[in-house]
């Protein structure tokens, strides 16, 4: 609790004393254009403040929620908070991507914190898959923006935004990719299904990640990129469509949910859709309006998630049909939750009411080519559905206990109830400031409010049974099915290719690599053949040596015994030494000869100590033919690559540099030696380390065998 509270004080101090915006810059990876660059402006300070405020309340809540809190939980929570704050203050595109992905990792750890439950594991995995895959799209989109504009700093992009109108056709693919990343992170249609699955997380995680932090990152990025992409022709229609669809289906699913956290998750999805809808309208340029609506959702939804955690601990269930009378056992939390529900239902006197008024006002003033009545109707339907869902939640605070006696009730402490009333009071205090004036938005709000309350009362007295969401409309279930099928087919594929001998995986790996390289290099084959038929003289000795090498390689593939294969491979290595001598490379020849000799001795000793049946296993003709085909293809591809590299030298050769500086910089006359020892000394040290490790492995195998005997 102390860390976010101190951070909040610092943020407020910066906001009160500093002239905004401000940027800080420190070089990090200049070759890739990635720097530790931070942008402090109204948007970043707002989201940082919200993150710290809810972080402090959640920290206070956790003190009483967990009977014995694990240090691991607080480490994950601080990791997420740091990643969230790093994302919102990042000025460099590369740095923003790094922090964005860190939030996905931290959320995975927090959602799957309870490792003993399968639901938590499934929810964490689905969250990670959706946010990470869409995050890759975001990364690709931001890289495209940097390549097209030649700017990697967001402050620079915002500054030149008015001049980007001519580049908007080229920025459209980047906008689509970035939008996919935003929709995935903020649980917007069609990626909304992961948020209800993530409700398997502990209540503090849901209250923090899914009200104030993680799901708001997409909204933050819309606010940050609004000056850059709002001129794009796809901005308004795309965000309007996605926002309306998400807003309506989220509210409908909330009505049909019986799980208290799932209901809150769907209502969160709906409210996030409303925020996206606001960004599609001209009034979204008024950042004060949109930031107020974000604050409204943060404070009331955080209070509701914390109250849900208290209700679950009191009643030992998440089914709202089995909850009642919470007001008696947790009065402070109940009052806070009722205030928060009033804000969710847009009751006058709360920030939720003001937020809805802002949305309706923007819709009525929106100049678009199609009927705005459809959008207003969608807002009315959404508000009515949220009122019905909220009224179902209000019922858990009143009435007699259902199926429980007071002896079995765990009465919550004052400490766990306090954050609920503190968070909800913000929605009440800010909601009482403005004065209502008779207007069309007010009349629409009162109409939807009256219809929603009427339907709620009718459903209560008529005892309507709200059925579950049909499976065909539940995209989360379809995603579960896809993940299950991937696992099933992966298991089947493993059963097909698995073997008790690890070396049998080598043909599979090489076959896959050769197939990929073959597809890539097929268009280059005419050029390769042209290089091969160049009229360069080749000595008869070189041709003879090449023939011996080819014969040895073929023999190694077809001879039946391991010792014979080893001899054939040794012949290949030794003849390669002569090949180096022919082309005047005696140093390479000596090195190759030493390696072949030492390797041959070690392999002979090893083969002698291994059981005969494990060394000379019979190989079928089919496997021999397959190995031969893969070997020929890999050989041809390797040769083709060498031909292309030697005839298309894109980078200037470094040999001239080494020859000129051997004496001056390294103090030696042998260029090869100075390269190995001086210019590439660390590479040589690494190679020597590898050889030492391999030698120790061989010695260990030999000693183990000797001890066993």
pLDDT in tens, 60-75: 888 888 877 678 888 8
| Same domain as 425, residue 292 | yes
| Same domain as 434, residue 300 | yes
| Same domain as 372, residue 277 | yes
pTM tops 0.85, yes or no = no
163 is a domain residue: no
560 is a domain residue: yes
Quote the pLDDT of residue 231: 86
| Same domain as 253, residue 350 | yes
Residue 476 confidence (pLDDT) above 80: no
| Same domain as 351, residue 269 | yes
Residue where a domain terminates, one of 600, 626, 650: 650
From CA 449, how far away is CA 386, in angstroms rounded?
Answer: 10
Element containing residue 79 per DSSP (H, E): helix 71-89
The percentage of the chain sitting over the pLDDT mark of 70, rounded to a whole number, equals 84
Residues contacting 102, CB < 8 A, separation 6+: 79, 82, 83, 86
Q: What letter does residue 51 receive in the DSSP assignment? A: H
Quote the pLDDT of residue 138: 94
Classified as helix, coil or strand, 405 is coil
Element containing residue 26 per DSSP (H, E): strand 22-29
The percentage of the chain sitting over the pLDDT mark of 90, rounded to a whole number, equals 11
Residue 259 confidence (pLDDT) above 50: yes
Query: pLDDT category, 707, cuts 50, 70, 90?
Result: very low
From CA 396, how far away is CA 341, in angstroms rounded?
Answer: 12
Residues contacting 628, CB < 8 A, separation 6+: 554, 557, 558
**What are the tens digits of pLDDT across the range 579-609?**
888 877 787 788 888 888 888 887 887 777 7
| Same domain as 319, residue 435 | yes
Provide the domain limits for residue 612: 519-650
| Same domain as 422, residue 365 | yes
| Same domain as 590, residue 702 | no
From CA 518, how far away is CA 528, in angstroms rounded?
Answer: 13
64 is a domain residue: no
Residue 208 confidence (pLDDT) above 60: yes
3-state secondary structure 419-482: HHHHHHHHHHHHHCCCCCCCCHHHHHHHHHHHHHHHHHHHHHHCCCCCCCCCHHHCHHHHHHHH
201 is a domain residue: no
Residue 32 near residue 94, CB atoms below 8 Å? yes
Burial of residue 352 (CB within 10 Å: 0-12, 13-18, 19+) is buried
691 is a domain residue: yes
Scanning 112-167, the segments in alpha helix (DSSP H) are 118-149, 154-159
Query: pLDDT category, 469, cuts 50, 70, 90?
Result: low
Residue 33 backbone zone (phi > 0: left; psi -120 to 50: alpha; other: beta): left
Residues facing 24 on adjacent strands: 38
Task: Domain count for the chain, please give it.
Answer: 3
Write down the mean pLDDT value for the chain: 81
- Tell me the mean pLDDT in the region 197-211: 85
| Same domain as 340, residue 446 | yes
Residue 284 confidence (pLDDT) above 50: no
From CA 338, how far away is CA 394, in angstroms rounded?
Answer: 7
Element containing residue 23 per DSSP (H, E): strand 22-29
387 is a domain residue: yes
| Same domain as 263, residue 327 | yes
| Same domain as 641, residue 568 | yes
Q: Indicate which CATH number applies to the domain containing 629.
A: 1.20.120
- Tell me the mean pLDDT in the region 437-441: 60
Residue 696 near residue 600, CB atoms below 8 Å? no
How many beta carbons lie within 10 A of that of residue 12, not counting itself?
14
| Same domain as 617, residue 681 | no
Distances (CA, A) of 469 to 84, 119, 182, 243, 262: 33, 19, 26, 21, 11
Residue 340 near residue 304, CB atoms below 8 Å? yes
629 is a domain residue: yes
406 is a domain residue: yes
């Amino acid at each position: 609790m102390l860390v976010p509270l101190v951070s909040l004080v610092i943020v407020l101090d910066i906001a009160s004393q500093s002239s905004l915006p401000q940027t800080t810059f420190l070089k990090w990876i200049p070759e890739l254009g990635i720097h530790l660059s931070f942008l402090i402006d109204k948007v970043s300070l707002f989201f940082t403040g919200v993150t710290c405020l809810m972080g402090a309340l959640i920290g206070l809540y956790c003190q009483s929620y967990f009977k014995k809190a694990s240090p691991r939980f607080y480490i994950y929570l601080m990791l997420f908070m740091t990643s969230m704050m790093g994302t919102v203050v990042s000025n460099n595109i590369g740095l923003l991507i790094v922090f964005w992905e860190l939030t996905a990792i931290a959320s995975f750890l927090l959602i799957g914190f309870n490792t003993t439950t399968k639901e938590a594991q499934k929810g964490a995995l689905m969250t990670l898959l959706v946010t990470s895959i869409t995050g890759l799209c975001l990364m690709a989109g931001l890289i495209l923006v940097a390549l097209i504009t030649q700017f990697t700093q967001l402050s620079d992009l915002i500054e030149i935004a008015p001049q980007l109108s001519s580049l908007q056709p080229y920025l459209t693919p980047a906008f689509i990719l970035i939008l996919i990343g935003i929709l995935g992170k903020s649980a917007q249609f069609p990626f909304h299904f992961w948020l209800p699955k993530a409700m398997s997380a502990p209540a503090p995680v849901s209250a923090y990640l899914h009200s104030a932090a993680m799901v708001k990152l997409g909204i933050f990025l819309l606010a940050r990129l609004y000056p850059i992409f709002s001129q794009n022709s796809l901005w308004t229609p795309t965000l309007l469509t996605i926002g309306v669809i998400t807003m309506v289906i989220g509210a409908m699913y909330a009505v049909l949910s019986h799980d208290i956290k799932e209901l809150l998750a769907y209502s969160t999805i709906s409210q996030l859709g409303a925020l996206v809808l606001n960004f599609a309208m001209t009034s979204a340029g008024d950042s004060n309006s949109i930031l107020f609506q974000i604050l409204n959702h943060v404070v009331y939804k955080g209070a509701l998630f914390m109250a849900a955690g208290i209700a679950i601990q009191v009643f030992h269930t998440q089914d709202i049909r089995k909850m009642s009378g919470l007001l008696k056992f947790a009065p402070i939390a109940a009052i806070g939750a009722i205030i928060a529900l009033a804000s969710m239902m847009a009751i006058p006197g709360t920030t939720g009411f003001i937020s809805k008024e802002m949305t309706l006002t923007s819709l009525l003033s929106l100049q678009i080519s199609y009927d705005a009545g459809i959008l207003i109707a969608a807002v009315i339907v959404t508000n009515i559905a949220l009122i019905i869902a909220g009224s179902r939640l209000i019922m858990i605070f009143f009435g007699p206990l259902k199926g429980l006696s007071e002896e079995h009730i765990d009465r919550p402490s004052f400490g766990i109830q306090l954050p609920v009333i503190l968070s909800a009071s913000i929605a009440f205090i800010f909601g009482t400031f403005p004065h209502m004036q008779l207007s069309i938005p007010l009349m629409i709000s009162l109409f939807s409010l009256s219809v929603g309350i009427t339907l709620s009362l009718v459903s209560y007295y008529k005892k309507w049974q709200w059925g579950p969401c049909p499976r065909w409309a539940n995209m989360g279930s379809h995603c579960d099915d896809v993940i299950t099928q991937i696992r099933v087919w992966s298991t089947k594929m493993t059963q097909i290719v698995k073997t008790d001998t690890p070396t049998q995986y080598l043909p599979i790996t090489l076959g896959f690599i050769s197939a990929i390289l073959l597809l890539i290099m097929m268009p280059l084959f005419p050029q390769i053949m042209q290089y091969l038929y160049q009229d360069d003289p080749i000595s008869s000795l070189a041709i003879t040596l090449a023939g011996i090498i080819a014969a040895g390689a073929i023999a190694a593939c077809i001879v039946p015994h391991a010792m014979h294969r080893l001899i054939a491979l040794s012949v290949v290595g030794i003849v390669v030494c002569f090949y180096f001598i022919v082309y005047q490379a005696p140093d390479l020849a000596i090195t190759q000869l030493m390696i072949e000799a030492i390797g041959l001795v070690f392999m002979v000793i090893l083969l002698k100590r291994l059981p005969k049946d494990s060394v000379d296993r019979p190989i079928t003709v089919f496997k021999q033919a397959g190995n031969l085909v893969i070997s020929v293809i890999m050989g041809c591809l390797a040769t083709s690559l060498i031909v292309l590299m030697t005839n298309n030298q894109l980078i200037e050769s470094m040999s001239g540099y080494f020859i000129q500086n051997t004496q001056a910089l390294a103090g030696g006359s042998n260029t090869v030696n100075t390269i190995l020892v001086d210019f590439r000394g660390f590479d040589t040290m690494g190679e020597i380390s590898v050889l030492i490790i391999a030698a120790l492995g061989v010695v260990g195998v030999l000693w183990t065998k000797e001890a066993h005997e």
